[in-house]
């Protein structure tokens, strides 16, 4: 089955494009939400995302261990939307207590990403994955932020290598990096 990776900055239109593509595929959709509502502002964002997607889609809220949980949840869904890898990695950092141990975080994120890729290989659904591109700005001023940027960048590279199509969104416009143009 196919895999599409949608990259971009904050408010670039990634989630909207992912939902539009899932609707175009037709059939049942499994929406995998990785966000945790740690405060009121984040809870409001999560609620807005819920309201923006069709009510008949199945939602799976997962903070870590995506691959096995998606495999267990998949029934006859034609499309899986994962929104988003950026928050998934945030959850991994939080789980480990926000360490400044680059090797530990690199290993944890690689294992999570490889588990997701393995899940895709055995699934009979198309995957649409959303992730932020955080490596285009200035170099972060503290070690933890640099580690986060680096491991997210490497996770995006692994996913892009597996993906059939990769889009970069800027100001709501997509640029095709791999695969057919949209």
- What CATH number corresponds to the domain at position 117? 3.40.50.300
Percentage with pLDDT > 90 across the chain: 80
For the question of residue 56 being annotated catalytic, the response is no
Give the contacts of 36 (CB within 8 A, at least 6 positions apart).
Answer: 42, 63, 87, 91, 94
Domain that holds residue 88: 3-178
Residues 6+ apart with CB under 8 A from 71: 119, 122, 123
Whole-model pTM: value is 0.94
> pLDDT-derived band of residue 165, with 50, 70 and 90 as boundaries?
very high
Phi, psi of 5 (to 5 degrees): -110, 130
In DSSP terms, which residues pair with 31 in a beta bridge?
A: 59, 81
The catalytically annotated residue of 49, 56, 95, 96 is: 49
Number of domains in the chain: 1
Q: Phi, psi (5° rounding) for residue 85?
A: -65, -35
* Residue range 26-48: mean pLDDT, rounded: 90
pLDDT for position 106? 96
Tell me the C-alpha distance between 156 and 5, whole Å.
8
pLDDT in tens, 89-143: 999 999 999 988 999 999 999 999 999 999 999 899 999 999 999 988 888 989 9
């Amino acid at each position: 089955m196919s895999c599409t990776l949608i990259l971009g900055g904050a408010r670039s239109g990634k989630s909207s494009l992912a939902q539009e593509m899932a609707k175009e595929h037709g059939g049942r959709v499994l929406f995998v939400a990785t966000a945790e509502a740690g405060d009121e502002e984040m809870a409001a964002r999560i609620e807005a995302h819920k309201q923006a997607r069709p009510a008949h889609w199945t939602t799976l809220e997962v903070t870590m261990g995506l691959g096995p949980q998606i495999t267990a949840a998949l029934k006859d869904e034609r499309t899986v939307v994962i929104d988003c890898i950026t928050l998934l990695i945030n959850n991994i950092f939080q789980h480990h207590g926000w360490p400044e141990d680059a090797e530990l975080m690199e290993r944890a994120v690689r294992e999570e990403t490889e588990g997701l890729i393995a899940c895709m290989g055995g699934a009979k659904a198309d995957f649409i994955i959303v992730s932020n591109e955080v490596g285009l700005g200035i170099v972060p001023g503290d070690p933890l932020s640099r580690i986060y940027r680096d491991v997210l960048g490497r996770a995006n590279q692994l996913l892009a290598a597996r993906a059939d199509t990769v889009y970069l969104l800027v100001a709501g416009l997509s640029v095709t990096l791999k695969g057919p143009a949209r």
